[in-house]
């Protein structure tokens, strides 16, 4: 098979790395890719024009296209490939609204009795602020559309929540993604990431994981795309796993079918484990980033047949998915200042030394080749991932890898996995 992967981050590097292990694969291409992906796939300098992409895929005999990021999925890239009779992994435009619109997701959850926080949707800032003044609880203010994982602002006081409303609806910090907002009650508990593959009927759950969204230690600082992750997540017991499958995953898939939006691909459920049980914070229509960097290294089964089965609606024939027993931890190394403005073009050293450590992989997120050097080219630069017999050792090994890598003003959290370690 010839496979095209679309994207350029750490998730896509991990996908290419995993796909390359399949005996079914002949050649892997990636667009636009990054310096790490270029070591195992051919980079194709294509733009965002879907018609040009599908023309190239057809002429290059691409057997499967895997779409990594949410933006092209929400824009309907899967529809364009399917219209030309080409296999593409991911939900179509209508189904991708599950991530592309928080209001759509909230309505679906309410209509199908899926546990989530109480909420209201607004497009008028004055009405939103008036509503905030009537609440007696802290809230989160969320841009309705896609905002690269940064469109969620805590409002634990009236002033904070008011400022968040103005940031999104008045200042237009997130552009069109902030045409409307969802204001929902703050849920208290511990977060977990729940990932399943689905063909619109059958679902295969992945092992549990948890990421760290805040920029600094102790879950302080600003919301980011994710500063690290680990798997398994001890908070997700077997009992909770079964509950989420029964009360969240299957009702979501069936609810989408009821409104004519069959969901095929990756369904990612962001959960808050509260005192009264798991509640849904968000849905994503693709693999998480950086959760992918700890899930796929643990996946023993071949990923390619599973993705094809989602497309062909034959996932029920794949009941023998297997996992490595080792735990995994990923530490994200980011550019100084991220998620605020940051500089790029910083030379990166120590990558070879990090990957020489047993069971350590360095997945590139924001890098590019500059002559003989690899330099920073994004906010999140690298995801240093380690496997080990237990989570504590995996975390230690990931930080060992981090210690060998250097670029100016590099920033990373020093407490990845602290919640899990406290439970263990």
Exposed, middle or buried: residue 61 (CB in 10 Å: 0-12, 13-18, 19+)?
Answer: exposed
What is the predicted pLDDT for the residue at 320?
Answer: 85
Look-up: residue for tokens 């981050």?
Answer: 9
In the predicted structure, residue 308 carries a pLDDT above the cut 90:
yes
Structure tokens at 385: 């991932």
Q: What is the pLDDT of residue 147?
A: 85
pLDDT above 90: residue 252: yes
Domain 2-92 class in CATH:
alpha beta
Alpha-carbon distances, residue 353 vs 102, 336, 357 (angstroms): 42, 22, 7
pLDDT of 255 reads 98
The residues facing 32 across adjacent strands are 7
Strands 380-388 and 360-364: antiparallel
Is residue 339 reached through a cis peptide bond, with omega within 30 degrees of 0 on the bond before it?
yes
Instruction: Return the CATH superfamily for domain 190-317.
Output: ATP-grasp fold, B domain (3.30.470.20)
Most confident of 145-149, 319-323, 407-411: 407-411
Is the fold of 124-179 the same as that of 327-423? Answer: no
Q: What is the pLDDT of residue 336?
A: 95
3-state secondary structure at position 90: coil
What separation, in Å, do the N-terminal and C-terminal C-alpha atoms of the chain show? 43
What is the per-residue pLDDT for 59? 96
Q: Write down the pLDDT at residue 46.
A: 86
- Coarse DSSP helix, strand, coil percentages of the chain, rounded to the nearest 5 percent: 35, 30, 40
| Strand pairing category for 27-32 and 2-7 | parallel
DSSP per-residue letters across 7-46:
E-SHHHHHHHHHHTT-TT-SEEEEEE--TTGGGTSEE---
Tell me, what's the pLDDT at 163? 95
Confidence of residue 67 (pLDDT cuts 50, 70, 90): very high
pLDDT score recorded for residue 137: 86
- In this prediction, residue 47 carries a pLDDT of 80
- Of all residues in the chain, the percent with pLDDT exceeding 90 is 94
Give the class (CATH, top level) of 327-423.
alpha beta
Q: What is the pLDDT of residues 88-140, one digit of tens each?
A: 999 999 999 999 999 999 999 999 999 999 999 999 999 999 999 998 889 99
Q: What value does the mean pLDDT take over residues 142-167?
A: 90
Cα–Cα separations (whole angstroms), residue 74 to 133, 145, 286, 298, 403: 34, 10, 11, 28, 38
Mean pLDDT on 286-292: 97
Contact, 354 vs 362, CB < 8 A?
yes
pLDDT at 335 over 90: yes
In the chain, where are the structural domains located?
2-92, 124-179, 190-317, 327-423
Return the pLDDT at 283: 96
Neighbour order of strands in the sheet with 152-155 = 119-122, 181-185, 139-143, 152-155
Choose between 148 and 51: higher pLDDT.
Answer: 51
The stretch 38-61 carries a mean pLDDT of: 94
CATH homologous superfamily of 124-179 equals ATP-grasp fold, A domain (3.30.1490.20)
Give 170-193 pLDDT, tens digit per residue. 999 999 999 999 999 999 999 999
Mean pLDDT of 159-175: 94
Looking at every residue in the chain, the average pLDDT score rounds to: 96
Q: What is the pLDDT of residues 351-401, one digit of tens each?
A: 999 999 999 999 999 999 999 999 999 999 999 999 999 999 999 999 999
* pLDDT above 90 for 151: no
- Tell me: the pLDDT tens digits for 290-307? 999 999 999 999 999 999
């Amino acid at each position: 098979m010839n496979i095209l992967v679309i994207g350029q981050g750490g998730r896509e590097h991990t996908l290419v790395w995993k796909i390359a292990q399949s005996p079914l694969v002949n050649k892997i291409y990636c667009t636009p890719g990054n310096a790490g992906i270029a070591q195992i796939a051919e980079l194709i300098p294509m733009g965002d024009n879907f018609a040009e992409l599908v023309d190239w895929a057809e002429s290059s005999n691409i057997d499967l296209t895997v779409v990594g990021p949410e933006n092209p999925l929400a824009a309907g890239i899967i529809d364009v490939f399917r219209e030309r009779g080409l296999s593409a992994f991911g939900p179509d435009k209508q189904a991708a609204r599950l991530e592309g619109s928080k209001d759509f997701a909230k309505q679906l959850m309410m209509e199908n009795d899926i546990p989530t926080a109480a909420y209201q949707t607004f497009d008028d800032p004055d009405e939103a602020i008036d509503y905030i003044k009537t609440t007696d609880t802290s809230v989160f203010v969320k841009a309705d559309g896609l905002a690269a994982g940064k469109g969620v602002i805590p409002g634990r006081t009236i002033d904070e929540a008011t400022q968040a409303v103005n940031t999104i609806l008045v200042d237009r910090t997130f552009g069109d993604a902030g045409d409307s907002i969802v204001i929902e009650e703050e849920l208290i508990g511990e977060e977990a990431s729940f990932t399943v593959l689905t063909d619109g009927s059958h679902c295969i759950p992945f092992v549990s994981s948890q990421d760290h969204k805040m920029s600094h230690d102790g879950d302080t600082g600003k919301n980011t795309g994710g500063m690290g992750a680990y798997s398994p997540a001890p908070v997700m017991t077997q009992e909770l796993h079964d509950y989420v499958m029964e009360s969240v995953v299957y009702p979501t898939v069936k609810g989408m079918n009821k409104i004519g939006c069959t969901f095929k691909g990756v369904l990612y459920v962001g959960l808050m484990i509260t005192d009264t049980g798991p509640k849904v914070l968000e849905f994503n229509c693709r693999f998480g980033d950086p959760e992918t960097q700890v899930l796929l290294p643990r996946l023993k089964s071949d990923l390619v047949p599973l993705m094809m089965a989602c497309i062909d609606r034959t996932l029920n024939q794949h009941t023998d998915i297997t996992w490595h027993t080792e735990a995994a931890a990923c530490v994200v190394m980011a550019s100084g200042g991220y998620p605020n403005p940051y500089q790029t073009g910083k030379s990166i050293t120590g990558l070879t030394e990090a990957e020489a450590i047993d069971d350590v992989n360095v997945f590139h997120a924001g890098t590019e080749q500059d002559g003989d050097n690899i330099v920073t080219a994004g906010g999140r630069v690298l995801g240093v991932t380690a496997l080990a017999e237990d989570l504590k050792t995996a975390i230690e090994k990931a930080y060992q890898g981090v210690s060998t890598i250097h670029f100016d003003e590099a920033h990373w959290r020093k407490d990845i996995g602290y919640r899990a370690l406290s439970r263990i």
